[in-house]
Chain A
């Protein structure tokens, strides 16, 4: 059973640029969700994808967007990067509604300068 894989592990971007983060889900899971974690805080829900459709979204602006592919992997895209977007981005996979819990990846550390 493969776990959740995220790439890249770290990256540095300049304010105003765009970034794409990637996530492969655990084998058998068809739902992927993304979270942003600022230093010293709990993860905050960005959005969730099920069957290639966004089916839930937290309090994040539209410049945060995503995709889910037929193999259930996912991308998180952030446009017009701001300094406050610097954070650890976590991807989680699960069955619908997380009925059997969530599996998280190791995260992508994004630094915006």
Chain B
């Protein structure tokens, strides 16, 4: 049974810092992994989708990597800003074509 774990559960950093969010999954037989951002009480905004054939995806200040063999993905945020404050979720496909999520990392960027 696929399980997704995100570490840390919460993170507080000063503005301008570079930071890394971690995601691990138990079953490496995935075909993609998706990172989402969620603001309080809101829906999910897709940040990056990494296909299994890729090792990295970049969008602006965000870079996500995927290592299937070790069951890990990282989301790197460069030069963090207060507007980056949100919960970040990673998700992998389940056996029914659904998504299986971690519990998320709550990020707070202090001005």
**Chain A residues near B (Cβ < 8 Å):** 4, 6, 31, 33, 35, 40-45, 48, 50, 55-58, 88, 90, 92, 96-107, 109
Contact = CB atoms under 8 A, between A and B. Distances in A.
A102 B96 contact: no
Interface in B71-111: 89, 91, 93-94, 96-104
A104 B43 contact: yes
Which size class do B's interface residues fall under?
Answer: 20 to 34
B49 A101 contact: yes
Contact of B32 (A88, A101, A104, A107): A101
B96 to A, nearest CB: 3
B104 A42 contact: yes
A98 B93 contact: yes
B16 to A, nearest CB: 28
Contacts, number: 77
A48 B96 contact: yes
A6 B43 CA distance: 10
Contacts of B42: 106-107
A103 B44 CA distance: 8
Contacts of B99: 33, 35, 43, 45, 92, 98, 102
Contact of A45 (B43, B89, B100, B104): B100
A104 B46 CA distance: 8
14 contacts: A4-B43, A6-B43, A31-B97, A42-B89, A42-B101, A45-B96, A50-B97, A55-B96, A97-B31, A97-B97, A103-B46, A104-B43, A104-B45, A109-B41
B46 A102 contact: yes
Nearest to A39: B41
A56 to B, nearest CB: 3
Interface in B20-52: 31-32, 34, 36, 41-46, 49
Contacts of B45: 104
A113 to B, nearest CB: 18
A40 B103 contact: yes
B79 to A, nearest CB: 26
